[in-house]
């Protein structure tokens, strides 16, 4: 397993729209395993393939306390959503140290292929429901900070670019 490089906002590649996976083969299973290792190493609850510069519809997540219940969603679709929404504080491995509230459906029913290629369908709520919606946005090329005001977003962009410059000069 290898750790993958996570793209940082405002990298334009984060706005690429992911294509559906045609076949869950060895290449996809390797991607899934590398994404899980990368997510756990970065202490994240979710990661979309877009964030590691692979533009196919693959998501990994684990919102369990014990960090041992990985979920793999390939070609995910939300087939039902609650009218009720929640405002949860979100963060993102592509936008380190930025947290803000975004409205999401409180409950969703998700349909996706798993790592074994089998179709799964499940209902979820709470943190996992928020996480699924956040990661599915990544696959559409949308980063959560794009829900915020342009003023806040510009501030975040400036901060991220400054941080990247600092890191680049620190050799």
Answer yes or no whether residue 36 interacts with Ni ion by CB under 5 A. Answer: no
CA distances from 70 to 9, 43, 47, 63, 142 (A): 25, 13, 11, 8, 23
Is residue 78 within 8 A of residue 122, CB to CB? The reply is no
Give the binding range for Ni ion (CB under 5 A) out of 4-12, 33-41, 92-100, 110-118.
Answer: 92-100
* Residue nearest to Ni ion as judged by C-beta position: 92
Strand 100-105 relative to strand 58-61: parallel, antiparallel, unpaired?
Answer: unpaired
CB-nearer residue toward Ni ion: 18 or 92: 92
How far apart are CB 54 and Ni ion at their closest, in Å? 15
Q: Taking CB under 5 A as the rule, which mask of x and - marks residues 108-147 in contact with Ni ion?
A: ----------------------------------------
Q: Report the nearest approach of Ni ion to the CB of residue 132 (Å).
A: 12
CB of 138 to Ni ion, least distance (A): 6
Question: Smallest distance, Å, CB 69 to Ni ion?
Answer: 19
Contact with Ni ion (CB under 5 A) among 92, 98, 113, 160:
92
| DSSP string for residues in 9-75 | TT-GGGGPPPBPPS---HHHHHHHHHHHHHHHHTT-SEEEGGGGT--BSEEEE---TTS---EEEEE
Residues labelled catalytic: 135
Chain residues binding Ni ion by CB under 5 A are: 92
């Amino acid at each position: 397993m290898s750790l993958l490089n996570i793209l940082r906002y405002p990298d334009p590649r984060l706005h690429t729209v992911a294509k559906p996976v045609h076949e869950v083969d060895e290449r996809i299973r390797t991607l899934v395993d590398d994404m899980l290792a990368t997510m756990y190493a970065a202490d994240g609850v979710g990661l979309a393939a877009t964030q590691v510069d692979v533009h196919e519809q693959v998501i990994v997540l684990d919102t369990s306390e014990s960090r041992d219940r990985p979920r793999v969603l390939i070609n995910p679709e939300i087939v039902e959503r609650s009218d009720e929404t929640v405002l949860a504080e979100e963060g993102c491995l592509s936008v380190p140290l930025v947290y803000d509230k975004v409205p999401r459906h409180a409950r969703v029913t998700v349909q996706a292929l798993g790592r074994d290629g089998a179709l799964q369908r499940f209902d979820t709520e709470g943190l996992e429901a928020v996480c699924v919606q956040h990661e599915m946005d990544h696959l559409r090329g949308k980063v959560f900070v794009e829900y915020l005001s342009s003023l806040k977003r510009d501030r975040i962009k400036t901060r991220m670019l400054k941080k990247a410059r600092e890191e680049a000069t620190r050799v």
